[in-house]
Structure 1
Amino acid sequence: MIELWLVEFLKGIGRLFLHPLFYGLFGMAVFLGYLRVKRERKVFHTRLHDGFYELRSLLPMGVILGLVLSIITIGSGVVMPFGTIALIGVITILLSLTFSLRWLSPSYVIGFSMFGIIFLSTLSSESSFLQGLIEDFKNTSLTAVVVLLALLVISEGLLVLKNGTKGTSPHIEQSKRGLPVGSHLTRRLWMVPVFLILPGEVLQTQFQWWPLFSLNDGQYALTFVPFAIGFQNKTLGMLPSDGIRFIGKRIIAHGIVLAALAVGSIWYPLLAIVGASLALIGRELISIHHRLTDDSMPFFFSRKDHGLMILGIIPKTPAEKMGLQVGEIVTKVNSIPVKSEGGFYEALQKNRAYCKLEIVDTNGEVRFVQRALYDGEHHELGILFVYDQKKWENKAV
């Protein structure tokens, strides 16, 4: 029996590479990186991270979470028919065509899939293949679906909380008064591969080649399914790290509520439908709440009278090595007060071999940083600021 499980695990991993979504997510990550670099170069004439940053971030933490979820789903006996997995994949692809990563939240993907299962299970077809899928929908446990939903939503919250704050992209836009203000955009995509148990009898009918093993007098197969988790956010009125953590914590709480409903649906099946409905409504309310909170605040990244606020830090530059952070304010360069981007660079040229900065951090405390400058390093330290008004007007023209 142990050898059979080991063989199935290996075959399940192999089936991951047969799933079209596996390759689609890699392509989408590359495309997201291309769009980000293009936008950053247009606004700042440089880019922060290279175009493959999103691709490198696609898997690492998602694999760890996927293994944890696999243990839970297999241990709890969650069985997912082939038709249901296929439907989730189709809905993921359709939502990805909107090019808005917020729709790739499990709350939307699995939530819409749940109602799709309920609707499609009422249909019939003369095609043996389609009728087989419809039978899969009829045999799908809604409790199993909402368990998977809750686990993926909690995973989304953890990914947003731990990784969502990394790699945010600065941007400059026009306020209602026509002034340049800074914002931070977050567009992240993760893949969470999860082992799922499929009922073998259904698969044996449609696909004679599918490997099976026996479990509790029934036949089942293991498959490794790639689930997409997307996150998209823009902050104007607060630090991007604060706004993203704000959302991440609420998504985790949302997932815990869904998990409670999933457990309750074992005895009261109607709670599974309630859980799917709450997933859609609750996730939307989280986004709306954050947007209204952010809009009610004054612009965080705007011109300050006592210095220059840091909008972005280019990786591997003197600014990063000096420990400068987004949201801090540079008040003096080489003991010279600075209030404009031009004044900052003029003061920097006073000593090309060494620089000393006076900084007001995000807690309002003053600190000093200093560092020798070397040949070949970024001549502007690698700091991105909000445009001066004159520069903004020239760019707008």
Structure 2
Amino acid sequence: MHVWKVLELFLIQPLVWIGLIRCYLAARHRVHYERLHFRSAIDAHYLEVRNFFKDGLLFGVIATVVSLALGLVVSPIWVVIYELLAVLSLLLIPTRLTPVTVFGLSWLVYWVLNPSLVAQIGARLRTHGVISLGLNSGVIISGFLILGLGLAATAVLLRRRDTQLNSPQIRPDQRGKRIVRYRWQQLLVIPVGVLIPGDWLHATLPWWPVFQVGTQQFSVLLLPLLLGASVQVYKQQPQVAWRRLAKDYWLVAAVSVIFALAARWLALSPQWLIGLLGVLVVLLWGSLLRHRYHDQHQQFWFSDTDQGVRVIGVRPKTPAAKLNLSIGDVILECNRQPVHSEAQFYAAILTSPTYVHLKVRNVQQELIITETAIYSGAPHELGIVLFTDQED
């Protein structure tokens, strides 16, 4: 019963609901765009919102177990600063996600406000039973480990196929030719159980769990940790690019843990610790810039073609999913008829209403033959997303 009450208090925090609203709006925009440009949505079930709840809870449970096992302690004042900055980032930057930047900035603000302002606020909070921690009490080391947990969770998201939806977005190039951008944008706000000093929550809510460590009492707080990434590709297979980027997230997560261990062993000053947090933010931004540079210097484009019709999307749980097609493949023949437009493609499907036979040139320039049964009399339910025919 107490666990549910703790979770209820997590759910009333503004960051959770603003994150959910932001996630819902992004999913609704994607579905509307797909229906407008491709006649039907690739996935109309608002996958982003489903991941927000399902993966948010899963990663939250894992992160809480690890956090409480390590005894990670944070300052209530830093929690307020972090949540405020996270909310502002979601409201003021509608098309980007900057979780790591917000996390690092929150510690910088906390350090700048120390010791004068935090001391004044801390004195007032102590009258209400709230104990504020200084920067020398190991809270920044807890920050390193919390950041490592967040980066690791993001890396898992980037590698998991069931959290990815390769939604094509059509853009014109410099010559007016249509090209496709694939964007992965997933936002999570996960509940991470952390320890905060004092028994002020227990004094207000007698059922609230309290831990005794030596002479110090700690309460458990579910910190809403903002996670996610917003990345795009123009010239790479999305899954390949996301997996490559996931390795960088894992690497920065490992560096974060190493920094935490080194800080504990060497007893580094707060200035050094804040500087190391800045290094982690720079490392991750460097990884994102390298991802963008690598994409820009590829030769391949997901572009319209005069030789066949290019596959720019495959709807899940449709006959097309059984054809082993990949985005970027070019369909040269359908049911042994050459096709050069979307209209010709669907006309060729109607020549065999229950089965489809395709000749395809994949992105490696290899010719392959693939076939599958289809829904009788419903060629547009095959599940292959193509460039729509342009009006003359």
Give 2:176's aligned residue.
178
SS at match of 2:230: strand
SS at match of 1:225: strand
Correspondences of 1:1-397 after superposition (within 5 Å) = 9=3, 11-50=5-44, 52-97=46-91, 98-104=93-99, 107-124=100-117, 131-132=124-125, 136=132, 138=134, 141-163=139-161, 166-201=164-199, 208-209=204-205, 211=208, 212-266=210-264, 267-270=266-269, 271-304=272-305, 306-375=307-376, 377-379=378-380, 381-387=382-388, 391=390
Q: CA RMSD in A?
A: 2.8
Gaps of 5+ in 2: none
SS at match of 1:60: helix
Return the letter of the residue paired with 2:332. T
How far off is 1:260 after superposition?
Answer: 0.5
Contact conserved, 1:81 with 1:136, CA < 8 A, in 2?
yes
Contact conserved, 2:37 with 2:388, CA < 8 A, in 1?
no
User: Aligned partners of 1:164, 1:285: CA distance in 2, in Å?
Assistant: 27
SS at match of 2:358: strand
Cα–Cα, structure 1 residues 89 and 387, in superposed 2: closer, same or farther, change >3 Å? Answer: same
Return the letter of the residue paired with 1:237. K
How far off is 1:173 after superposition?
Answer: 0.6
How far off is 1:73 after superposition?
Answer: 1.7
Gaps of 5+ in 1: 1-6
Contact conserved, 1:353 with 1:372, CA < 8 A, in 2?
yes
Identity percentage of aligned residues: 22
User: Aligned partners of 1:361, 1:59: CA distance in 2, in Å?
Assistant: 36
Return the letter of the residue paired with 1:52. Y
Contact conserved, 1:181 with 1:386, CA < 8 A, in 2?
no
How far off is 1:11 after superposition?
Answer: 4.4
SS at match of 2:132: helix
User: Aligned partners of 1:238, 1:387: CA distance in 2, in Å?
Assistant: 22
User: Which whole-Å deviations, capped at 9, do the CAs of 1:32-78 have from their partners, x for residues lacking one?
Assistant: 11111122223223211115221111132333332232222212221
User: Which whole-Å deviations, capped at 9, do the CAs of 1:307-339 have from their partners, x for residues lacking one?
Assistant: 322101223433224443323222221112323
Number of equivalent positions: 381
TM-score (norm 1): 0.86
How far off is 1:203 after superposition?
Answer: 5.5
Cα–Cα, structure 1 residues 246 and 46, in superposed 2: closer, same or farther, change >3 Å? Answer: same
How far off is 1:344 after superposition?
Answer: 1.7
TM-score (norm 2): 0.87
SS at match of 1:90: helix
How far off is 1:387 after superposition?
Answer: 4.7
